[in-house]
């Protein structure tokens, strides 16, 4: 069995982080998958760090990494890629929007594929409990991304896995929330699979999405277009 590193970015997730780690531990143990979980925390001001430290004191494969500078979701995730030990990497949110059992499906799908995406927009996927403004924003972001990757239904999902071999960290300019698009746009990969997931809006804590993040997405999109024009990357 290949070992798996799961990367979870957090900022003030005290209502979710303990439960999501325990849920993942159970699922991974039941499936006999060797793993580590990296919690990439941007120096949360709530009890997130205390909760993770408490769990990691008895489980060394749960690792808390507190980041004091260059805060941001994508920056934290890319930092996690460098700190993770294993060759299979999965990124997911802390807030239960990404169904934990689907981690096993992504893991299995990486046997034979470079990348596996937990997809909200492929047949069978869904989004639950999003207000209409949020749906419109996501539609706009996905529409833009599909101009680059017309064959991928959800190129901006926050729930995905890949093999380290496809990653060239030096090329990435992490900003905003859509780190998957950055990976798709700036790395060479061949095979990709999308698996339907039901994205469920968080119940505990609050979303950190704001206008800055939306603006960062436009900059990121432009940067990827320029990068691809200069580097002749092919899917």
97 lines the binding site for ligand GDP (CB under 6 A): yes
3-state helix, strand, coil in the chain (%, to 5): 40, 20, 40
3-state secondary structure of 194: strand
**Among 171, 208, 227, 233, interactor with ligand GDP by CB under 6 A:** 208
Span of 34-42, 99-107, 120-128, 148-156 interacting with ligand GDP by CB under 6 A: 34-42
Distance CA 171, CA 131 (A): 35
C-alpha–C-alpha distance, residues 126 and 228, integer Å: 31
Length of the chain: 235
User: How far apart (Å, rounded) are the C-alpha atoms in residues 139 and 126?
Assistant: 13
Residues whose CB is less than 8 angstroms from the CB of residue 136 and which lie 6 or more positions away in sequence, other chains included: none
In this chain, which of 11, 81, 96, 107 binds ligand GDP, going by CB under 6 A? 11
Binding mask 175-214 for Mg ion (x = CB under 5 A): ---------------------------x------------
Candidate list 15, 36, 42, 194; residue touching ligand GDP; CB under 6 A: 42
In the complex, minimum distance from the CB of residue 77 to ligand GDP, in angstroms, rounded to a whole number: 8
Stretch that binds ligand GDP, among 98-106, 118-126, 204-212, 219-227 (CB under 6 A): 204-212
Give, in degrees to the nearest 5, the angle at Cα 227 between 223 and 231. 180
Q: Which is nearer to Mg ion, 94 or 184 (CB)?
A: 94
| Residue selected from 14, 95, 182, 194 as contacting Mg ion according to rule CB under 5 A | 95
For Mg ion, give the closer residue by CB, 171 or 202: 202
Q: What is the DSSP string of 17-57?
A: HHHHHHHHHHHHHHTT--EEEEEEE---SSSHHHHHHHHHH
Select the residue whose beta carbon is closest to ligand GDP and give its number.
Answer: 207
Look up residue 170 and give its two tokens. 């030096």
Task: Answer yes or no whether residue 154 interacts with ligand GDP by CB under 6 A.
Answer: no
Tokens of residue 150, six digits: 């017309």
Distances (CA, A) of 55 to 31, 94, 137, 149: 20, 15, 36, 40
State the minimum distance, in angstroms, from the CB of residue 177 to ligand GDP: 6
- 97 near Mg ion, judged by CB under 5 A: yes
Nearer to ligand GDP, 162 or 177 (CB): 177
Site stretch for Mg ion (CB under 5 A), options 8-16, 92-100, 136-144, 192-200: 92-100
The binding site for ligand GDP (CB under 6 A) comprises 9-11, 13, 40-42, 71-73, 76, 93-95, 97, 177, 202, 207-209
């Amino acid at each position: 069995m290949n070992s798996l590193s799961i990367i979870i970015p957090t900022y003030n997730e005290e209502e979710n982080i303990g439960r999501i780690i325990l849920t993942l531990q159970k699922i991974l143990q039941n499936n006999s998958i060797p793993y580590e979980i990296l919690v990439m925390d941007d120096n949360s001001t709530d009890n997130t760090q205390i909760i993770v430290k408490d769990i990691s004191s008895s489980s060394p494969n749960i690792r808390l990494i507190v980041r004091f500078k260059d805060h941001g979701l994508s920056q934290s995730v890319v930092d996690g890629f460098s700190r993770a030990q294993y060759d299979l990497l999965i990124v997911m949110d802390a807030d239960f929007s990404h169904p934990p059992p689907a981690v096993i499906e992504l893991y299995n799908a990486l046997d034979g594929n470079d990348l596996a995406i937990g997809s909200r927009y492929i047949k069978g996927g869904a989004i639950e409990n999003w207000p209409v403004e949020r749906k419109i924003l996501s539609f706009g972001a996905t529409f833009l991304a599909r101009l680059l990757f017309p064959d991928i239904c959800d190129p901006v999902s926050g729930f995905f896995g890949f093999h380290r071999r496809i990653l060239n960290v030096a090329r990435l300019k992490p900003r905003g929330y859509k780190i998957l698009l950055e990976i798709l746009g700036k790395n060479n990969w061949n095979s990709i699979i999308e698996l339907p997931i039901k994205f469920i809006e968080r119940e505990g804590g609050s979303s950190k999405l704001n206008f800055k993040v939306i603006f960062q997405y436009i900059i990121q999109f432009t940067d990827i277009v320029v990068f691809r024009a200069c580097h002749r990357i092919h899917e």
